[in-house]
Structure 1
Amino acid sequence: MFNNSISIPVTEEQPDEFSGRMRSRPRRKRRKSEFRGKSELAKQICKQITRWWPVLVFLSALLLLVFEASKIGWRSTLSDSEVKVREKKPNVVVSSVNKSEGNLNRLDAPRCLKLLPAEELQHLDFPLNKDLSDSIKKVIYLSESNTPYNKDSQQDLGTTRFNLFTGYQTFNQREQSFKVNETVSVHCGFYSENGGFTIADEDKSYMQTCQSVVSTCAFGGGDNLYQPIGMSDTSLQKVCYVAFWDDITLATQEKQGHVFNKDRFIGKWRIVIVKNLPFRDQRLNGKIPKMLAHRLFPNARYSIWVDSKSQFRRDPLGVFEALLWRSKSVLAISEHGARSSVYDEAKAVVKKNKATPEEVEVQITQYHHDGLPEDKRFNGKKALNEASVIVREHTPVTNLFMCLWFNEVVRFTSRDQLSFPYVLWRLKAPKNIHMFPVCTRKDLVNSMGHIRKAKPLG
């Protein structure tokens, strides 16, 4: 019924469609030829670059040289103008100092240091003297009167830095000093009246009145003096602030207009001028007030050491309460921020050129021979320390500890963080040491960094 067929018209124009498609092919060939032309051009450019590359390199170097020379000329012009400004204003501080003093007088709330409220700090007082239950009752400091120096009898001194100030401690005497007895004899500086570190009688009299002290030092014209902040009126009455200077630092500070008054004070600090420093290495001279506060302040019960690169910014009595009395500790010092192993620290000291590889090798070899563990920890905390702030009670145990630590620094390197864990491990007597975290140390001080390099003694 239905026609299912479909008619497809066939015309004579159909061949033309195919012919049209055929004619499109030559155009494609022309596009390929254009591409080939571009390729040939690129090849020619590469060929020219390959041929003339030495000339191009020379021209680039010449342009760079001209640019650098113009920068140098600009810098020299700027430096000349800076010199003229400084000649007009001799008391202007160098810009690097201004940057480093950005933290100066910053008294923000502590994050990790738990101090008592301000009203309680005003009524804080030293605790009553308690009976010593320590195994060490008395420390006798050796001097030339009881151990005269006989060069023929001294064996294996280990270093030439021992002198009339330190006494000539032999290796055998070093070993004996770590043995714990009720009465202990030890080298602890001030070995001879001719040893140096001479202090005027007026200053000695003042230092003998101190029941507690915050101390710092700057030898060789080193860092500036930063006034302590954050203390209560009670602390100002009960705590001495003493800064040790030598003649070089005195002259440097006077040029900057920092002159003490007739009572030898600059602000809160009592300035003590030290003559005849015993070591050429100023870092080693700085270890004397840092480690031997019990020798310098014979009547003080407590002390806080603050490196010259820092500004102390907390109430001293509050710090004693928070870090010593509350935890029933006799020594408080900061953990190291980066490492816990003495041996890793030794590698870092050498890498940063803080000491020579030879002297560090001698020290670490001795410690390894004695059996010091790779990763020594004290009560679950790092034994490796950062000693820019030291808070302590002057007991026979801590006095002996500081003497032994000082002797290790004299015998080996001035990098005291290498010897602290060793003395802690060898002595075994101090059980109540507070190793506080880095954030607590940052709460204690504003760190400015070192302003200038100390000049060594000639």
Structure 2
Amino acid sequence: MFDNSSNVAISVLDDESDDLGRMRVRARRKRKKLLHRGENGFALRLLKKLLKYWMLLIIIPVVGFLVFEAFIIGTKPGLRVNSQLGTPDEPSQFNLEFNKVDQSTPTLGKDPKSNLNRLDPTSRVIGGVRQRCLKILPPEELEHLDLPMEKDYKDPVNKVLYISESDTYFVGGNTASTQQNSEVMSFNLFTGNQTLHERERSFEVKETMEVHCGFYSSAGGFKITDKDKSYMKACKVVVSTCAFGGGDDLYQPIGMSEASLKKVCYLAFWDEITVRAQELVGHRIGESGFIGKWRVVVVRDLPFSDQRLNGKIPKMLSHRLFPQAEYSIWVDSKSQFRRDPLGVLEALLWRSNFVLAISEHGARGSVYDEAKAVVKKNKATPKEVEVQINQYRKDGLPQDKRFNGKKALSEASIIVRKHTPLTNLLMCLWFNEVVRFTSRDQLSFPYVLWRLKAFEYVNMFPVCTRKDLVNSMGHLRKVKPLQN
């Protein structure tokens, strides 16, 4: 009996032990399961993954950083220069930076002058290959570049006669046969108020053209000193800009060769308002008439109350202001010219036998679309834009966005030209349009080009080429009107 009862007692004890063991195992499994489901479980799993793939986590960022650095160094060197001399700083002072954003206009909260003095080339991808936008000659070739011998252009216009205030004519143009005549003495003669009939006749291209070219009077408009006139008459190649009403600062040209420094004149036209505004920011005209590379010409008795119209005189009528010049490059005051002038002439004119190069519009192609944008942005009144567009529509200007395969609309902040009778005529007629209608010259240039059928003579270069030519800071301050 004792043995049996003892066996039974032991047997029961074993069963209880097994039950307890199974309960403990289930409890451990349950805790483990709950642990994996909870926050601590997620952290443990993440830790295991990190331990497993730690090599990849180190290698991938390192490779990415090396590729990015190689791309920066290989494609976008942001070389800066000494803005006073227009030449690169010493190698130890080179500042390489990657220009990641379009800086053609200042961005909100960003200093617009951060775009100043950059020499890095602008490029774009064509057919899968990255190419420079302005294919300018290398520095060693620029140093030996000179003006080419006179070529016989197939110019439909041989001579331009300007109508004077008294309805007589004086010889225009910039050819050898006319440079010694009265043109030298009459660059600012008033040329009368053009009638609609005279306007229409001015677009009838003939070998000898008789046109109005300059709505300002020698008795009361655009006066400069004899000393400045003498300097200007000696210029063969001109880079010019203007700032009337104190709107913009003067940016020193950079990137030029030593050869260009000896052969090119840099002229900035200011009025007395701009002189005072620039003195406040430390830009004072020296006794020699220069600020850095720029010869500053102070103009008095500006003819128009609209400062935008006054600015069109040096922009469009450089052949009137520089009667001896063979070439001119216009740069808007909001930009810093950063390329060798002779190299620019070679790249945009001589290489392809053009006589005029102008920057195309980046946003729109049609004159009619531009007219809507001008009104929307309050650049001109709806009434004056309507008068201009109705006239163009009446004359048959098409709504095409491209003329002869070229973009119809120009941005016109950079104008590169050879002074020929044809380009002189074109610029005179363009000036007449902005005086008659609105000062928004983007509206009138395609019309004049279309009326003259001069597409084959004009190089409409793309936006990326314009960005290679200049550093753009945008307009800094509002232009002050003339005091009545």
Question: What interval of TM-score do these two structures reach, taking the shorter chain for normalisation?
Answer: 0.7 to 0.9
Does structure 1 residue 280 correspond to structure 2 residue 305? yes
Which shifted more, 292-301 or 379-388?
A: 379-388
Question: Counterpart in 2 of 1:386?
Answer: 411
Cα shift readout 1:159-207 (whole Å, capped 9, x = no counterpart): xxxx984521000000010011111011111653224000110000000
Match of 2:421 in 1: 396
1:433 partnered with 2:458? yes
CA distance in 1, matches of 2:440, 2:339: 27
C-alpha distance in structure 1 between counterparts of 2:142 and 2:307, whole Å:
37
1:314 matched residue in structure 2: 339
Distance (whole Å) between structure 1 residues aligned to residue 189 and residue 143 of structure 2: 45
Per-residue CA distance 1:274-333 (angstroms, 9 max, x = gap): 000000110110000000000000011110000000000000000000000011100001
Cross-structure match for 2:164: 143
- Structure 1 position 403, deviation (Å): 0.2
Partner of 2:40 in structure 1?
Answer: none
Matched, 1:173 2:195: no
| Residue identity opposite 1:247 in structure 2 | E
Instruction: Please give the per-residue CA displacement for 1:86-135, whole angstroms capped at 9, x wherever unaligned.
Output: xxxxxxxxx99971111000110242000001100000000011234312
2:114 maps to 1:102: yes
Please point out which of 217, 223, 233 is paired with 1:198: 223
Q: Hey, what's the Cα distance between the residues in 2 that align with 1:329 and 1:135? A: 14
Contact 2:312-2:431 within 8 A present in 1 as well: yes
Match of 1:333 in 2: 358
Alignment of 1:19-418 (within 5 A): 99-111=111-123, 112-147=133-168, 165=190, 167-189=192-214, 192-418=217-443
Aligned residue number for residue 41 of structure 1:
none
For 1:447, the equivalent position in structure 2 comes to 472
- Would you say the 8 A contact 1:243–1:269 is kept in 2? yes
- For 1:328 and 1:120, the matched residues in 2 are separated by 19
Match of 1:272, SS state, is strand
Paired with 1:327 and 1:137, the residues of 2 have a C-alpha distance of 21
Q: In 2, are the aligned partners of 1:144 and 1:191 still within 8 Å (CA)?
A: no
Q: Report the CA distance shift for 1:245/1:145 in structure 2 as closer, same or farther (over 3 A).
A: same
Please state whether the residue corresponding to 1:199 is helix, strand or coil: coil
Contact 1:332 1:435 (8 Å CA) reproduced: yes
Q: Is residue 113–residue 322 contact of structure 1 (8 Å, CA) maintained in 2?
A: yes
Aligned partner of 1:308: which letter?
S
In 1, Cα distance between equivalents of 2:389 and 2:204: 21
Aligned-partner Cα distance in 1 for 2:257–2:265: 13
Gaps of 5+ in 1: 1-94, 149-162
Give 1:147 deviation, angstroms: 4.9
Quick check: 114-123 or 256-265, which moved more?
256-265
Whether contact under 8 Å (1:305, 1:391) holds in the other structure is yes
Are the aligned partners of 1:331 and 1:432 in contact in 2 as well (CA < 8 Å)?
Answer: yes
Give the aligned residue type for 1:245: W
Identity %: 74
Rate the CA distance shift 1:353–1:446 in 2: closer, same or farther, 3 A.
Answer: same
Q: Distance in 1 between matches of 2:456 and 2:441?
A: 20
The answer on whether the counterparts of 2:161 and 2:210 sit within 8 Å (CA) in structure 1 is: yes
Residue identity matched to 1:104: L
Task: Indicate the larger mover: 296-305 or 251-260.
Answer: 251-260
Q: Normalization by structure 1: what TM-score?
A: 0.74
Higher mean C-alpha deviation, range 257-266 or range 387-396: 257-266
The DSSP-based 3-state class of the residue aligned with 1:203 is: helix
Asked whether the 8 Å contact 1:142–1:191 carries over to 2, the reply is no
**Contact 1:164/1:191, CA 8 A, preserved across alignment:** yes
> Partners in 2 of 1:191 and 1:146 — Cα distance?
14
Q: CA RMSD in A?
A: 1.8
1:262, distance to aligned residue in structure 2 (A): 1.1
- 1:228 and 1:311 in contact (8 A); partners too: yes
| CA-to-aligned-CA distance 1:360-391 (integer Å, 9 cap, x gap) | 00000000011000015233121100011000
Aligned-partner residue type, residue 146 of structure 1: D
Cα pair distance change 1:195/1:189, threshold 3 Å: farther
CA distance, structure 2, for counterparts of residue 456 and residue 191 of structure 1: 18
Corresponding residue of 1:419: 444
Change in CA separation of 1:305 and 1:377 when aligned onto 2, cut-off 3 Å: same
CA distance in 2, matches of 1:96, 1:377: 33
Distance 1:328 1:219 in 2: 34
Q: Which residue number in structure 2 is paired with residue 457 of structure 1?
A: 482
Give the whole-Å Cα distance in 2 for the aligned partners of 1:422 and 1:408: 9
Per the TM alignment, residue 146 of structure 1 is displaced from its structure 2 partner at its CA by 2.7
Q: How far apart, CA to CA, are the structure 1 residues paired with 2:470 and 2:156?
A: 34
Query: Is the contact made by 1:187 and 1:403 (CA closer than 8 Å) also made in structure 2?
Result: yes
Name the aligned partner's letter for residue 296 of structure 1: L
The answer to whether the 8 A contact 2:216-2:303 is kept is no
Note closer, same or farther for the CA distance 1:309–1:318 as it changes in structure 2 (3 Å cut): same
Matched letter for residue 251 of structure 1: R
Would you say the 8 A contact 1:247–1:275 is kept in 2? yes
Distance 1:98 1:347, change over 3 A: closer
In the alignment, the residues of structure 1 paired with residue 308 and residue 340 of structure 2 have an alpha-carbon distance, to the nearest angstrom, of 28
Contact 1:397/1:430 (8 A) holds in 2: no
